[in-house]
A and B are shown apart, each in its own frame.
Chain A
Amino acid sequence: NAGVTQTPKFRVLKTGQSMTLLCAQDMNHEYMYWYRQDPGMGLRLIHYSVGEGTTAKGEVPDGYNVSRLKKQNFLLGLESAAPSQTSVYFCASSYLPSRGRVADTQYFGPGTRLTVL
């Protein structure tokens, strides 16, 4: 199992450019998430999906869009990149949450380091 994979690993954009980050998981997880990590702030949730075809906003959704057309993939889009979106982006996935370690745990991809100039 590859677990959670993210492409690309690194990217440099100019202000105003667009791009899509791809997340894929092979664990048959229902839930998928996008987080961003900034220095000194821990991880913050951007958007999440509770199943194929459904998405919802997290804590910091502005400037991002997402799509979940297939259960195993979750795309994060930046339509017009801004320097404030310079960050490390993590994708994660989990089973339908319920009590217990297996159901509750989110597993993370390796991250994408994005720089917007």
Chain B
Amino acid sequence: AQKITQTQPGMFVQEKEAVTLDCTYDTSDQSYGLFWYKQPSSGEMIFLIYQGSYDEQNATEGRYSLNFQKARKSANLVISASQLGDSAMYFCAMREGTTGGGNKLTFGTGTQLKVEL
């Protein structure tokens, strides 16, 4: 079974509108971390936002927020006031467990977001 599922291969959003990118995960660990990375067409992987499994509040970083619903095992990324520069591939990732087994990330297949005028 997929550990990270991103069901939206592609999304379109109008400039200045908000958009939600979906991510569901599967783990039996109690301690885990959830991440979103942005990959623009230039190819680099840019860290956006982090949510720890024990964090009670949803994470926010500027225009990015993570809608964390633990019982539903979902960690959706919300981008507010979309900008043309937000056009990129977005990856959801999960780190399971803590020390001993490395800090390995499992990635989803990504969502390609295009912001339109």
Contacts and interface: CB of A to CB of B under 8 A. Distances in A.
A110 B102 contact: no
Contact of A104 (B45, B52, B108): B52
Nearest to A56: B102
A108 B52 contact: no
Say which size band chain A's interface belongs to.
Answer: 20 to 34
A31 B98 CA distance: 12
B25 interface: no
A110 B105 contact: no
Contact of A105 (B43, B50, B107): B50
Nearest to B52: A99
Contact of A44 (B52, B107, B110): B107
Nearest to B33: A104
Interface stretch (A35-43, A64-72, A79-87): A35-43
B69 interface: no
Contacts of B103: 31, 33, 48, 94, 97, 104, 106
Interface of B: 4, 31, 33, 35, 37, 43-47, 50, 52, 54, 59, 91, 93, 95, 98-99, 102-105, 107-110
